Amino acid sequence: MLSLIEHCCCKTSVSSVLNRDVKQFGRQHMFDGDEETCWNSNQGSPQWLSVTFERPVHVEQIHVQFQGGFAAKTCTLIDGSDHSAPPLAKFYPEDTNSLQIFAVPSLKKPVKTVKLIFVESSDFYGRITVYKLDMLGVPQ
């Protein structure tokens, strides 16, 4: 199992960025390895992030580090290219600053795009803050 974000070419997008300040709070900060930077969403639920890989992959684990107080309470992972398909996984993060690891059940087929939906936030206004995100698995 390897880091799909690090080893496979991918494009990411997010639902929003706090005050549209991409330089300070943009999605790139989830992957830069700097413990001081993060992606901050604007208010409102749900928030989401999408990852499109150059080739299909089997995602086996999601690693995510939230800021306590701005964590997701419920997350749903879906096939980003087939929004009508049932969810690939559902998990319930803790409201903590610690790195959390979630297993993704075996996928019947590899996917090229995954969308992680933060259905509900621990923040009253629905904001999400992510310091680190990684997806581990096997490329096809």
Going residue by residue through the chain, which has 140 residues, state the pLDDT in tens, using 9 for 90 and above. Answer: 899 999 888 999 999 999 999 999 999 999 999 999 999 999 999 999 999 999 999 999 999 999 999 999 999 999 998 888 889 999 999 999 999 999 998 878 899 999 999 999 999 999 999 999 999 999 98
pLDDT given at position 106: 81
Which of these, 87, 80, 73, lies nearest to 118 by C-alpha position?
A: 73
- Distance between CA 35 and CA 20 in Å, rounded? 21
Contact 99, 23 (CB under 8 A): no
Which pTM was predicted? 0.93
Q: Delimit the domains of the chain by residue range.
A: 2-139
Residue that the structure tokens 């690693």 belong to: 63
* CATH domain 2-139 topology: Jelly Rolls (2.60.120)
